[in-house]
Amino acid sequence: MSKTICLALTGASGMPYGLRLLECLLAAGCKVQLLYSQASQIVAKQEMDFELPSRPADAKAALLTRYPTATSENLSVYGREEWFAPVASGSNPPDAMIICPCTMGTLAAIAQGLADNLIERAADVVIKEGRKLVLVPRETPFSAIHLENMLRLSRAGAVILPPSPGFYHHPQSVQDIIDFVVARVLDQVGVTHTLMQRWGEAR
């Protein structure tokens, strides 16, 4: 049975990771519930030259065009105030949730138990229902406040996965580095991939 993964994009640097994750989750046969903040639209344009429309229906249409493996059945897109979305209730939680990229504001709100928008609400639901929450925070450095919020979430069961690539696989391009981070995220939510050679495998 295919996994249902909630993927949230927020307004932090790192949109190449988020969109590559979306592509890989769809290609792996997952059902993806996509959430995105208003600020993520700015970052998508700045970092990827990709226009992410404000209306969820328009965003879905754009993503169906962008990704050949996306269909109306395996991709759902929800607005930040869609409180009737499945992810808003513990009666219908996803198998896992990924926030990538994750702003420090979003991380702080989740750490404090706030649920003022659908992204925060979905993360709160995932934590209370004991499902896996993976947060991919924005670029370094982190303040003591950021680190304390991360520790609070880690103690609550979330996975804090900074996009810190390894180099033992001898990356030859920026895409190789992106794929390394995306591979680590996919491993955390149990989605099979072939993005990179694993440690100890024959070259």
Residue with tokens 């590559």: 20
- What residues of the chain score a pLDDT lower than 50? none
Given this model, what pLDDT does residue 1 score? 75
Distance between CA atoms of residues 42 and 50, nearest Å: 9
Provide the sign of the torsion angle of the four alpha carbons 120, 57, 132, 141, taken in this order. negative
Which CATH superfamily includes the segment(s) 4-188?
Flavin prenyltransferase-like (3.40.50.1950)
Given this model, what pLDDT does residue 108 score? 98
Residue with tokens 């947060």: 135
Given this model, what pLDDT does residue 201 score? 78
pLDDT tens profile 76-87? 999 999 999 999
SS3 72: coil
Distance between CA atoms of residues 127 and 28, nearest Å: 24
Given this model, what pLDDT does residue 198 score? 83
